[in-house]
Structure 1
């Protein structure tokens, strides 16, 4: 399995700021990239209307980003599976985020280079075409299956000069990861203390706190004390023609309440179908003696597995590997909190199909 890849088995690449990384040079065409990588299989690809293109190589642990003309302009290196990338002698990948951030700041000061913060709250250095990120670390359990950890580990996006000023604002990078509508993180990771969280009850498939599945948008806002959403997200029915047809509301984020409401079209309009309670700031929900929000993810996973082994419940596994309770349509998710992860939960009605 790719998750079993040992550090010594990973390729070791050097970042050449604004020029390329490892054997890959910005401006290469797709055939040249494939030749530089050796025998590599394409795991997925996607093209935009303007001719931009992304191509992922899971065996290599990276995604290549091409501007129109199929010319390489960016490389996203995956945290656990991609090459070990170094800059000025320091390794960037699969490390503690705060340690990498501190090292980058030291090197930047020595070179007189400005370090900014990207939309995820991680270092971004336009002079080097480097934007850092982090994901949850996984490991192989004693039984041989993939298991989540409570750690965040670094990954990197390296780009050509034309993308360096604000990579995540470009259409090309959004082909790989679109975070334009996600909340901007300024570099802090506050986590509300458990005693300061509201306490909410949960009735599976029906209600969580004051929110009952099937509510209209206005009813959700009223139930949350007339809090206006910090952000709304939706889509048009025809992907290729993004402005064609009726825009459909899909979710609203309520930062004050610490949750996201998810909607499905029903009875002529959007109706509440799922609620994600945020791990860092959301209300506490307790089920069968388990606090579900703001806890160690590994502890909750272990508690669910223990109850399943006793026969108290059956487990459900979400498409992202999240564990949940079978028949309740609830999944324990994870949210980053600096160098670590905390638990959050998505509560759904009976008809909701969770896709991560």
Structure 2
């Protein structure tokens, strides 16, 4: 299950982060306040914070923390974190091109061709007599409710953009907790 970034996909040198289900990813721990997220984000780059409109009354006020890499020409955020007033940090999205690399049980998750990721997820599940899961959009990934696989357009390619999550205030599942910005039909443009 090796992953070789393609030069034509514009993949940059990536930090390597670990993911612990229901605990966190990289320097981020679920439940952190906005201030704690900003402090942790400063090790990767320059964070900017914006309050999101409340689309649903069930959710408390929510902030988006976009983290741009230092020393890189203007580009999309490498990482986008979401924190709510009630739950704290509940979601971290890794950009397919600029985000850190995260490996889960031997599966490389960020910036992958989605069909290759599906093939590797199936092979892994068969090798360990385990499972994998599909999102409602049809993207395959690890059998962990805290990993929601999304697609991001990179030129003509569709690459993996995983979201690492826990449920937020008033939601039953991570899918229900998906930030509105991350829910755009699974199609992201870089």
Greater relative contact order structure (CA < 8 Å, 6+ sep): 2
Structure index of larger Rg: 1
SS at match of 1:229: strand
CA contact (8 A) 1:205 1:328 kept: no
Cα distance change on mapping 1:207 and 1:277 into 2, 3 Å:
same
Cα distance change on mapping 1:303 and 1:222 into 2, 3 Å:
same
Residues 1:192 and 2:11 aligned together: yes
Residues 1:214 and 2:35 aligned together: no
Residues 1:232 and 2:50 aligned together: yes
Cα RMSD after superposing both structures = 2.9
- From 85, 110, 117, the equivalent of 1:293 is 110
CA contact (8 A) 2:166 2:174 kept: no
Higher strand share: 1
Count of residue correspondences: 157
CA distance, structure 2, for counterparts of residue 304 and residue 262 of structure 1: 27
Per the TM alignment, residue 309 of structure 1 is displaced from its structure 2 partner at its CA by 3.5
Match of 1:254 in 2: 67
Match of 1:332 in 2: 149
Unaligned runs of 5+ in 1: 1-188, 240-246
CA contact (8 A) 2:152 2:158 kept: yes
SS at match of 1:221: helix
Cα deviations by residue, 1:109-167 (Å, 9 ceiling, x for unpaired): xxxxxxxxxxxxxxxxxxxxxxxxxxxxxxxxxxxxxxxxxxxxxxxxxxxxxxxxxxx
Cα distance change on mapping 1:220 and 1:334 into 2, 3 Å:
same
Unaligned runs of 5+ in 2: 1-7, 70-76, 184-190
Per the TM alignment, residue 230 of structure 1 is displaced from its structure 2 partner at its CA by 4.1
Moved over 4 A (4+): none
CA contact (8 A) 1:276 1:346 kept: yes
